[in-house]
Amino acid sequence: LPPETIVDREIGREIGLRDGEVRFLVNGRIEKLGDAYTLFADLVTSSDGVIQASYVAEIGDATGILSGVRQIATQIRETLGEEAGSIQRSTDELERVTTPSLEALKLYSQANTMMMGIDRDRAVPVLQQALRIDPDFASAHLLLFYVLRDRGEIDGGMSHLERAVELAEDTTERERLFILATYYQFYLDDIP
């Protein structure tokens, strides 16, 4: 199939059947009503297309979408029989970003989790603490840019975005590309 093919339910089933090891697929959608969002997901058997379970998450606004996705993902993992301890450990894992400081990494991971829920504003002092520990923590600068931008503090956020770009060469390729993509997207969106 051409690269631009959208992987819908039927294409997903075909991939699962061709692979032979993919027993289930998740088919999801999101609907918006006013400022609120509803996330839907079906757990589908690859072999016959039968829906094994359905999930719904109600989200108050766009800032909670990732939290809703995580909620549904946790429910799916439980349905498939994963142990609660394993699920909890994976939610407690540290992010894979570049910093020599374990303490700064823990703070960044905590702030990143806050960003997925309603605690976004509480992420600011956590990220500031991470940057006091490691002032050259590129991904922490980037995440702080996002929080400040969402609060309407563009001027304060811009210095962190620009610092993240300056430090991007010393990060992993994934981090570097994400930092640069954010930078260019911000400036392209800002052009009238």
Q: Count Cα atoms within 13 angstroms, Cβ side, for 109.
A: 16
Q: Is the pLDDT of residue 191 over 60?
A: no
Q: Is the pLDDT of residue 37 over 70?
A: yes
- Tell me how far the alpha carbon of residue 67 is from its chain's centroid: 9
The C-alpha angle 27, 30, 161, rounded to 5 degrees, equals 110
Helix, strand or coil for residue 51?
Answer: strand
Q: What is the mean pLDDT of the chain?
A: 86
Residue 192: band (very low, low, confident or very high) from pLDDT cuts 50, 70, 90:
very low
The 8-class DSSP code of residue 34 comes to: T
pLDDT in tens, 75-134: 888 898 878 776 666 566 778 888 999 889 988 988 887 776 666 788 899 999 999 999
Helix, strand or coil for residue 37?
Answer: strand
pLDDT in tens, 139-155: 999 999 999 988 888 88
Q: What is the reported pLDDT for 190?
A: 55
Q: Phi and psi dihedrals of 94, rounded to 5?
A: -80, 150
